[in-house]
Structures are given as structure tokens and as C-alpha cells.
A and B are shown apart, each in its own frame.
Chain A
Amino acid sequence: MRSSILLFGIVALTMMGCRKDEPVPPVEEEGRTSWLTVTYAPFWEGVAFDKYAVYHDVLDHRVQVQGFKFYLAKARAKRPDGTWEDLFNVDLLDLLNGPKSRSYALPPGTYTDLEWGIGLPPDLNHTDPVTYPAEHPLGFAQGMWWSWADAYRFVIFDGRFDTDPNGTEVPPPGQFSIHTGLDTCYRAGQYDISGTTVPDSGYAHLEMRIDLAHFLYSASDTIDLQIDNQAHGGNVDLATRLSDNVRDAITVSTQ
């Protein structure tokens, strides 16, 4: 009798396994109790970004940013012994309305380095949005798919500008819309996070700062919005410059 009950139990468990619609918890939720929280915070020249503000860029153009989204991918954290722990595969950040925080499951311990890609690596960039639910970072409803390229936009940077530094029109009259994408725009970001310790149960915190003013200049390059204000795939030179600047505009600090 005992063996038959055991047999029945096994079969019953097998039946449960046959259910098609059983929800699968995301990896982050599977009994993890230790987390890394990253606060993604936008700035303009070191001051908290305000989407309603009209800023002045390094060429003294008046600039108002009206759209700003970007992908991060293949994020991982390095232990002191050189081994890596995956943090997330892909995330889409829209920081126009201010900072956002995300918590990622991470085994407890000390970490020294963080790295991710800005944009999407080829294995993600050329997946078809039809394979993702609409609300997934790679789903069609994120507005990031470039159908003509069979690939995604990596960074969307849209807004208005005015070459007259004393202009008063709000929003400024000129439009800029610079979108990066294509595999050549993928950039690696590597950051020192020494001193980050994820507890057995609880959270460690990092802050990622992204300075939008630096999208338009670096030590060796300045984007003049009067000349370079549109890139939707065809203007590879401008997209490449913006990709470099976005990479350099990001810093990560421990909290």
C-alpha cells in the first residue's frame, strides 16, 4: 500500500509539471535574499536634471531635453577572486522624469568591479521583438525597434535647442533627435565598485550618474546641435560620437 501511495504521489507531481500556464518566477525572485540596488540618476553638469529646465550647452546653445532612453545589457559584478556574477541581461532606462532605482539579486559577498554594455550586444540587438511580450524591455511597446535595420535603437536623445543664448522661447524652436543603434554603437562601461558588500540578507547600494550635458561634448569632441541634430541610423558619424559621449557621461559610485 505504501508503495502505491508513493507511486500515486510521483504521478501527481508529474501532472503538476505538465501545466502549461504555471508562472515561472523571474530569476531575481527565486528565493534570493541579497540584492544590489542601483539608483540611476540623471544630471546636467553635476546638478540634478530637470526636464522642464532650459540648459546651456558648452557652445552656449539653449537646450531642453524632451526624450531620453537607453539600454544597458549584460551587467555583471566581479568578486575579488576574479569570478563574475551576472546582474541582469537587459534593462531599458527612461530617466526623463528623474532617478529610478532597480534591485537585482546578487549573491552575498564583496565586489570590486561592475561592468555592462551601453546599448545591446549583437545577440540581443538582432532578436525579433515578436518573441517578447509587449512590456519586456525588448518588446515592441518600448518604441525602440528599428524595423528597417532589424535592430534596436540603443540611445534616444531628443529635444529642442536655440542657437541664441539670450533667446526666451520655451521650448526652444530648433529640434534635435539623435538616436544611436547598429552594432557599432555598442559601448562597454567598466566601473570600480570596491567596498561594495552585499549582505547575506539585505541590500547594497550603488548610484549610477549620467550627465546629459556630456552627451554633447567630451575632451576631444563637441556636438554642435546647429549642425548635427538628426541621426536615425543614416548619420553613423554622429551616432558614433554620441555613443562615445554617453559612455563617458556615466559614472558609478558606491553609497
Chain B
Amino acid sequence: MKTLNEMRKTLTFALMSFLLLMVGCRKEEPEVEENGFHTTPYDLQIPANLPPMTVPLDNPVTQQGVELGRYLFYDERLSGDNTQACASCHAPAFAFTDHGNQFSEGIDHIKGERNAMALFNLGWGQFFFWDGRAATLEDQILQPVTNPIEMHETWPNAMAKIEADPGYGDLFYAAFGDSHVDSLKVAKAIAQFLRTMISANSPFDKWKRGEGTIPVDAQVGYDLFQLEGGQPPFIPNGQGGADCFHCHTPAGDLFTDEQFHNNALDSVFTDLGRGGVTGDPFDMGKFKTPSLRNIMLTAPYMHDGRFASIDEVLDHYNEGGVPSATVDPFMKFTDPDHTLELTPQKRQQIIAFLNSLTDMEFVTDPRFQDPGEP
């Protein structure tokens, strides 16, 4: 038979256990790492029309990591002469592209040969850069800092400058349990920040989720976007559409298939694209499909920014481009006698649809703007 003392102990333990249970089931449970510091999971709030995001197990998204990553994304001390940050070529108002520039200019005033890619929804990316040479977001972030035509800095120098700023010590400790700065922590923190940059509140998204509407022209443009191009008999299953959906697949509403294609820009490749990475002749002249989200904010277009406007892009696809050894089978109109034959009305409807993909809430979201000094 239990004594009164034993019963008290039992009740005390039961109460303690219940309280711990309540704490343990809280959504934002602080994660206790091995060395005793705490991080708080960041609630990514994936919109209903986007797929689940797979986050690397070795770099979970935490509130502390995201805060640190945001400071680092805007920190010009990651460049050789302290004048360029990631944000210098990835500006929020332009859907994190380079202010309408065809090519970005590094700290030594050398221009690159590819157009700065937009930064959003990178948490779903399978490859990074136009040629997919980085397999992870973390790998991608490590490269521009040391690229001689971009930020042109060494990582030891960059780390020393960041570590010398007393404002960063606490931020690194809060994110990683260690105030020492290293390049992997920098890459991980910026990657966490980038994974929070989810663009899914355009008028199109709201229409898809039943939260709003888009103009009828835009709805017709979306239909055209999803229809096969051409007409029988040249294209037996042609539907008179714009033929965009093959590569800019609306699956998961991300408007990219995350694959590499040669979209008939050149017959002779001055930029090998994916082929330059793999060495595979089948990959020559292929580039990663960019998302069409926020497309009206990200001019100029293509990997080399050769088209200044959406009209020029539509001209290219309407005329069909040029044949080459690796041209994609979806580019069915490289024969000049057979074009996509988009009428002016269809073009206007497609542009109306593309306009509906502009997410102003995303580009003005205070969480993604420059936080100032750490």
C-alpha cells in the first residue's frame, strides 16, 4: 500500500509529465542541440497550391538561421572591395534579379555572360544556376563570393570581415551554437533565408485557391498556355495553343519542370550551357527552365538576356527559333514554313496571363528586404 509521501511523489511526477507533454507538442518547439543552445523551427507556411518542400536534414530552417541569412544576403563585406552583396544583383523589386540588366557587373567592372536568375521558390529547386552546376542551394551560395567576375573575394577574407563585426557573434551563436564564422555556416544561413522566399500570392495563385479572380483574358491565356501549338496536318495533334506548358509546367504551380532544354535560340553554341557541366554532347546548348512566376519583373529574358521584352520572347517562340543538334523536340516550329501562328489576340491573352503571375506581395514583403546592419 502506498504511503502518503509516495502518492505525493506520484502526483508530482504526473503533473511534471503533463506539463512537459504540453510543451513537447507545441508547434514551435525550440530544438535543443547537443551543446545546449536552442533554435526555433521556422514555419514555412507552404501555400496549398505548392508541393511540400524537402529541406535538407543537415540544414533545417530555423528562425535564427533565417535572421542571420537575411543579414548576410545583404552584406557587402562578402565581396572583395566591400561594395557588393548577393542583393546587389538580386534586387527585391525585380523579383530578385539585377535591375533589368542583361549582364551583371562584378566588383572589377567585368560583366558576366549570363543573366542573373530570379530568386524565389528555390526550396523546390533540383539544380541551381542556368547550367545546373550546383546540386544544392548551399553549394550555389558558395560560388559567387569567390567568382573573379562577381564578388571576387576569398572565403577566409570574407569570414574574417564578418567575424570582426561584433553584431554577428550572437547571430551565429543563435543559429549554429557557435559564434565562429565559416563559409558553410554562411551558406547554410543564406540558404535558410532563401527557402523562406516563397512566391505564391499572385492574382493567379489567389484565383487557383479560390481567393480571388483574374481577368477573363488571363484565363483564356492560361488555357492557351496549356494547349499544344500548331494545327493539323503539320502538327497532327495541334490545338492552336501556345505550347508553353511542356517546359514551364504548371504542375505544382511552379511553372518550371526543373529540367534542361535547348529552346532553339542558336544553331551554333557560344555558351554550352548544361553541356559545359556534363560534357555530354546531348546537353550542349541546354539551359535550366526558369519559372514564369514574376516574369514581368525579370526582364531581360533567356540565359543571356538577349530578349529585352516579353514581346521579343513571344516573337521567338512564335517564329520557332532555329534547328540545331540538340534542339528540344518540343520546339516543333524551327521550319520557317510552319510557325506557331499566334494571333495578336492570343498574344495579348498570353501576356494577360503572364501579368497575373506577378506577386507584388512577395517583392514588397518586409521579411525579405534589407535589414540594415546586424
Q: Which residues of B contact A117 (CB under 8 A)?
A: none
Interface hits, B319-373 → A, CB 8 Å: 323, 325-327, 329-330, 332
Question: Is the beta-carbon distance between B251 and A140 smaller than 8 angstroms?
Answer: yes
- In the assembled complex, B57 has its CB within 8 A of some CB on chain A: yes
Once A148-B245, A233-B237, A235-B236 are accepted as A-B contacts, the answer to whether A66 and B51 lie under 8 Å apart by CB is no
Question: Is the beta-carbon distance between B124 and A18 smaller than 8 angstroms?
Answer: no
Q: Which residues of A contact B245 (CB under 8 A)?
A: 147-148
A158 to B327, CA, bound (A): 11
Shortest Cβ distance from A171 into B: residue: B325
- In the assembled complex, A219 has its CB within 8 A of some CB on chain B: no
A141 to B255, CA, bound (A): 10
Shortest Cβ distance from B259 into A: residue: A143
Q: Which residues of A contact B138 (CB under 8 A)?
A: none
Question: Is the beta-carbon distance between A134 and B252 smaller than 8 angstroms?
Answer: yes
Interface hits, B202-249 → A, CB 8 Å: 226-228, 235-239, 245-246, 249
Q: Which residues of B contact A158 (CB under 8 A)?
A: 329
Question: Is the beta-carbon distance between A132 and B13 smaller than 8 angstroms?
Answer: no
A7 to B18, CA, bound (A): 10
A131 to B253, CA, bound (A): 12
Once A141-B124, A143-B257 are accepted as A-B contacts, the answer to whether A129 and B252 lie under 8 Å apart by CB is yes
Question: Is the beta-carbon distance between B282 and A51 smaller than 8 angstroms?
Answer: yes
Tell which of B12, B18, B258, B327 has the most Cβ of chain A within 10 Å.
B258
Q: Which residues of A contact B57 (CB under 8 A)?
A: 23
Mask, B39-67, CB within 8 Å of A = 1, is 00100000011111110010010000000
Question: Is the beta-carbon distance between A134 and B41 smaller than 8 angstroms?
Answer: no
Q: Which residues of A contact B9 (CB under 8 A)?
A: 1, 4
- In the assembled complex, A78 has its CB within 8 A of some CB on chain B: no
Residue in A12, A132, A134, A176 whose beta carbon sits within 8 Å of that of B258 in the complex: A134
Question: Is the beta-carbon distance between A66 and B13 smaller than 8 angstroms?
Answer: no
Residue in A12, A21, A67, A170 whose beta carbon sits within 8 Å of that of B17 in the complex: A12
A159 to B282, CA, bound (A): 11
Question: Is the beta-carbon distance between A130 and B253 smaller than 8 angstroms?
Answer: yes
A231 to B238, CA, bound (A): 10
Question: Is the beta-carbon distance between A230 and B237 smaller than 8 angstroms?
Answer: yes
Mask, A131-165, CB within 8 Å of B = 1, is 11111000111010101100000000011000000
Shortest Cβ distance from A131 into B: residue: B51
- In the assembled complex, B281 has its CB within 8 A of some CB on chain A: yes
Question: Is the beta-carbon distance between B16 and A8 smaller than 8 angstroms?
Answer: yes
> Smallest distance from the beta carbon of A162 to chain B beta carbons, Å?
13
Question: Is the beta-carbon distance between B41 and A15 smaller than 8 angstroms?
Answer: no
Question: Is the beta-carbon distance between A66 and B282 smaller than 8 angstroms?
Answer: yes
A21 to B6, CA, bound (A): 37
A148 to B249, CA, bound (A): 10
A4 to B330, CA, bound (A): 68
- In the assembled complex, B126 has its CB within 8 A of some CB on chain A: yes
B contact face: mostly helix, strand, loop, or mixed: loop
Q: Which residues of A contact B246 (CB under 8 A)?
A: 232
Question: Is the beta-carbon distance between A130 and B13 smaller than 8 angstroms?
Answer: no
Question: Is the beta-carbon distance between A147 and B250 smaller than 8 angstroms?
Answer: yes
Q: Which residues of B contact A159 (CB under 8 A)?
A: 329
Question: Is the beta-carbon distance between A11 and B17 smaller than 8 angstroms?
Answer: yes
- In the assembled complex, B24 has its CB within 8 A of some CB on chain A: yes
> Smallest distance from the beta carbon of B83 to chain A beta carbons, Å?
36
Question: Is the beta-carbon distance between B14 and A234 smaller than 8 angstroms?
Answer: no
Residue in A18, A52, A66 whose beta carbon sits within 8 Å of that of B24 in the complex: A18
A39 to B101, CA, bound (A): 49
> Smallest distance from the beta carbon of A121 to chain B beta carbons, Å?
19
Interface hits, B24-47 → A, CB 8 Å: 24-25, 27, 29, 41
Question: Is the beta-carbon distance between A143 and B51 smaller than 8 angstroms?
Answer: no
Q: Which residues of B contact A7 (CB under 8 A)?
A: 10, 13-14, 17
Question: Is the beta-carbon distance between B52 and A133 smaller than 8 angstroms?
Answer: yes
- In the assembled complex, A3 has its CB within 8 A of some CB on chain B: yes
29 contacting pairs across A/B (C-beta < 8 A)? A3-B10, A4-B12, A8-B16, A11-B21, A16-B24, A18-B25, A21-B41, A51-B282, A66-B326, A130-B48, A130-B49, A130-B50, A133-B51, A134-B51, A134-B54, A134-B124, A139-B252, A140-B249, A140-B257, A141-B259, A143-B249, A143-B259, A145-B251, A147-B251, A158-B329, A175-B329, A175-B332, A177-B332, A234-B237
Interface set of A (CB-CB < 8 Å, partner B): 1, 3-5, 7-8, 11-12, 14-16, 18-21, 23, 51-52, 66-67, 129-135, 139-141, 143, 145, 147-148, 158-159, 170-171, 173, 175-177, 230-235, 238
Interface set of B (CB-CB < 8 Å, partner A): 6, 9-10, 12-14, 16-18, 20-21, 24-25, 27, 29, 41, 48-54, 57, 60, 124, 126, 226-228, 235-239, 245-246, 249-254, 257-259, 281-282, 323, 325-327, 329-330, 332
What are the 6 tightest A-B residue pairs by CB atom distance, in nearest-first order?
A234-B237, A11-B17, A177-B329, A15-B24, A145-B251, A140-B251
Q: A132-B52, A230-B236 provided; 4 other pairs, C-beta below 8 A?
A: A7-B17, A133-B51, A135-B126, A173-B323
